[in-house]
Chain A
Amino acid sequence: METKYISQSGIEQWFDAIVTSGKRVFAPVNSRGQVDFKPVKKLSEVADEYIQTTQSIKASVYPKAEVLFSYEKVNGKVNLTDFDPESVPETVLWKVHPCDAAGFKPLSAIFNWDTTDKLHNAHLAKTSVISFSCSAADESCFCTSVNGSPGNTAGSDIQLTMLPDGGAIVEILSPKGEALVALSPSVFVADKGEKKEKYLVDLPVRFNLEEVNAKLNKAFNSTVWKEQSERCLGCGACAFVCPTCACFDIQEDAHGSKGRRIRCWDACGFALFTLHTSGHNPREHQSQRWRQRILHKFFYMPERLSVVGCTGCGRCSRACPVDMNILEHITSIAKQ
């Protein structure tokens, strides 16, 4: 790990160099009144002045829908065409928030804790993450409560901390990061000794994770789930904007003799997610599904995968149509 300084013009030059290298660059863009990651060619397209993109960058390593493999039926036989990792283009994610970058770890834990996931890993291998530390936050942010921070470098290949002069402190965190720096080495100059922490937003810790974990251990039969989930509509908005939610469905797209098997996002909040063919539904009520969501992220995952399934990005709270504020709910559980 190495720390450098880059000037405002240096950033522009470097960005152009990345684009010119042929890599796809995804960055937050403000359009349709929302800020979200989109392919960009120019630095000027990148959005400023926002707290959080609506969606996380999860889709870059776990697309909404992707082809697991395709097949063709010929004379009663079936020919399979495997997913080709080479089909995934080199991608650079620009201006990722630390809470998003931190989401890669729990996401990969889910995909690889047992058998490995070829598709996810192929995307991961081809993706470089340039995160920007956070100088602002809103009332939904709580990364500091879930082992994160506005300057958390976990999951990032490079992290930039913007300075008042338009330049930035550059933390080069991985070989992938070094390779990106190498695209335009001259713009990176010696670190000026600025303290990164000075430029980070101050975000107080809102709850104690261990305490929450301990409470959840005994909370399965608590009435809190019913109370909290009453207004929950059972949509998948929270899951789909979440950087770590990985529930998926496997579906068939068949056209005559050809077809492909597709993996697409699913959500544990959907009423029919666990419905058995027999008609029995183990998680019949919304309260059970809400409990699953919270327990999975804050209890099962730490226990099973040794990682918290929440990065404190606050997207679910912002996206929820009925203000199911996760921070509020977790805080109230911690206080129980």
Chain B
Amino acid sequence: MSEQNTYLPYLMTIEKVIKEAPGVKTYRLKFQDEAEAEAFEFKAGQFGEYSAFGEGESTFCIASSPTRKGYIECTFRDTGRVTSGLASLEEGSTMGFRGPYGNVFPMEEWKGKNLLFIAGGIALPPMRCVIWNALDLRENFKDITIIYGAKTVNDLVYKSELKEWSDRPDVKMVTTVDPGGENADWKGEIGFVPTIVEKVAPSAENTIAIVCGPPIMIKFTFPVLEKLGFKDDQIYTTLENRMKCGVGKCGRCNVGKLYICKDGPVFSKEELNLIPAEEY
């Protein structure tokens, strides 16, 4: 068999479009080729390169759970040339996908532990993949707590799923919006994510904290977790460096010895300590 061209994407059909928040959409993608669909596998935490033909490629995580077969989902915000090209597509349109790339959350190792998910803004997608993965294998884990915050009520993504999660008896779900971001109907918390974490987080005992969000949120959440007694090997996050190739060649996400696209994007805080913080 001849050598595969790493850069050649799978052709995907947009099966479903969900408008999440202003400028934020979720696409459910199906492989156009049956054989490719069959052979495709991924794990929670991985990402891919999504193409809008005519505009280029952009990197996002796979937002659906590996336990849900037959499709993948991605959630993105319309911010640049590619994402705006993607956003202009409709149900039934063709787009490209390369992946899965990167490492995974060590879900196996987490068996029998409590999970604490902390996400901010548009960083819920990488988390959503793990959350569904954990919920679909609910018996593997003990308590599951989800803390999710966004700037305003409008900016919360996956609104129907947020409700689904909070309705489940086996999940402790806390949503929050930044002060001033609430509306008249808002019943959740009001406050920045780190503050809410401090307020509602479960004990660090036998708990894994998974933190995804903008750098500023992560910067302020880590100390809170430390204060709560979380050790560095109990804290996980994903990095979102600029990437082009996704396969450790183009040089963008090279931080220290590591390539975020190969050695990441999932890192425990322990692993993060090994690479220079200023470069991610």
A contact set with B: CB distance below 8 Å: 68-69, 71, 73, 76-78, 80, 82-83, 85, 110-111, 113-119, 121-122, 220, 246-252, 254, 259, 261, 263, 266, 268, 273-278, 280, 282-283, 288, 292, 296, 299-300, 303-304
Task: Verify if B179 is at the interface (C-beta below 8 Å from A).
Answer: no
A80→B247 contact, CB < 8 A: no
Q: Determine the distance from Cα of A113 to Cα of B248 in the docked complex, in whole angstroms.
A: 8
B1-60 residues at the A interface, CB under 8 angstroms: 2-9, 11, 51, 53-57
Residues of chain A lying within 8 A (CB to CB) of residue B241: 274, 276, 282
Residues of chain B lying within 8 A (CB to CB) of residue A282: 241, 255, 278-280
Given the interface pairs A250-B245, A263-B7, A278-B214, the reply to whether A73 lies near B53 with Cβ below 8 Å is yes
The total of interchain contacts (Cβ-Cβ below 8 angstroms) comes to: 120
Residues of chain B lying within 8 A (CB to CB) of residue A113: 248
Task: Verify if B70 is at the interface (C-beta below 8 Å from A).
Answer: no
B3→A118 contact, CB < 8 A: yes
Nearest chain-A residue to B51 (Cβ)?
A261
Task: Verify if B215 is at the interface (C-beta below 8 Å from A).
Answer: yes
Given the interface pairs A252-B54, A282-B280, the reply to whether A300 lies near B5 with Cβ below 8 Å is no
Task: Verify if B111 is at the interface (C-beta below 8 Å from A).
Answer: no
B252→A273 contact, CB < 8 A: yes
Task: Verify if B231 is at the interface (C-beta below 8 Å from A).
Answer: no
B257→A277 contact, CB < 8 A: no
Given the interface pairs A116-B3, A282-B278, the reply to whether A259 lies near B254 with Cβ below 8 Å is no
Residues of chain B lying within 8 A (CB to CB) of residue A110: 249
29 contacts between A and B (CB under 8 A): A68-B8, A69-B5, A71-B53, A78-B11, A78-B53, A82-B5, A114-B262, A115-B6, A115-B247, A116-B6, A246-B251, A247-B251, A248-B245, A248-B250, A250-B56, A254-B55, A259-B54, A261-B51, A268-B251, A268-B254, A273-B252, A274-B242, A275-B242, A277-B80, A292-B254, A296-B254, A300-B256, A300-B257, A303-B257
Min CB–CB distance A319 → chain B (angstroms): 19
Given the interface pairs A248-B244, A250-B244, A282-B241, the reply to whether A117 lies near B6 with Cβ below 8 Å is yes
Given the interface pairs A118-B4, A280-B215, the reply to whether A80 lies near B11 with Cβ below 8 Å is yes
Given the interface pairs A116-B6, A119-B5, the reply to whether A220 lies near B276 with Cβ below 8 Å is yes
B249→A246 contact, CB < 8 A: yes
Min CB–CB distance A63 → chain B (angstroms): 14
By Cβ-Cβ distance, the 10 closest A-B pairs, closest first, are A247-B251, A252-B56, A254-B54, A68-B7, A118-B5, A78-B94, A282-B279, A118-B3, A115-B247, A115-B6
Task: Verify if B240 is at the interface (C-beta below 8 Å from A).
Answer: yes
Q: Determine the distance from Cα of A300 to Cα of B262 in the docked complex, in whole angstroms.
A: 15
Min CB–CB distance B13 → chain A (angstroms): 9
Task: Verify if B92 is at the interface (C-beta below 8 Å from A).
Answer: yes
Residues of chain B lying within 8 A (CB to CB) of residue A247: 250-252
Q: Determine the distance from Cα of A188 to Cα of B257 in the docked complex, in whole angstroms.
A: 47
Known pairs A80-B8, A80-B9 / 20 extra A-B pairs, C-beta < 8 Å: A68-B7, A73-B54, A73-B94, A78-B94, A82-B5, A110-B249, A121-B3, A220-B276, A247-B251, A250-B56, A250-B57, A252-B54, A259-B53, A261-B56, A266-B251, A268-B251, A277-B80, A282-B278, A282-B280, A288-B278
Q: Which of A69, A73, A275, A276 contacts B8 (CB 8 A)?
A: A69
A249→B244 contact, CB < 8 A: yes
Q: Determine the distance from Cα of A76 to Cα of B240 in the docked complex, in whole angstroms.
A: 32
Task: Verify if B96 is at the interface (C-beta below 8 Å from A).
Answer: yes
Task: Verify if B195 is at the interface (C-beta below 8 Å from A).
Answer: no
Residues of chain A lying within 8 A (CB to CB) of residue B256: 220, 300
B93→A252 contact, CB < 8 A: no
A111→B249 contact, CB < 8 A: yes
Q: Determine the distance from Cα of A69 to Cα of B8 in the docked complex, in whole angstroms.
A: 7
Task: Verify if B203 is at the interface (C-beta below 8 Å from A).
Answer: no
Q: Determine the distance from Cα of A268 to Cα of B248 in the docked complex, in whole angstroms.
A: 14
Q: Determine the distance from Cα of A121 to Cα of B126 in the docked complex, in whole angstroms.
A: 34
A78→B252 contact, CB < 8 A: no
A82→B55 contact, CB < 8 A: no
Task: Verify if B206 is at the interface (C-beta below 8 Å from A).
Answer: no
A300→B240 contact, CB < 8 A: no
Q: What per-residue 1/0 map shows which CB atoms of B214-233 lie under 8 Å from chain A?
A: 11000000000000000000
Residues of chain A lying within 8 A (CB to CB) of residue B248: 113-115
Given the interface pairs A69-B8, A292-B254, the reply to whether A251 lies near B56 with Cβ below 8 Å is yes
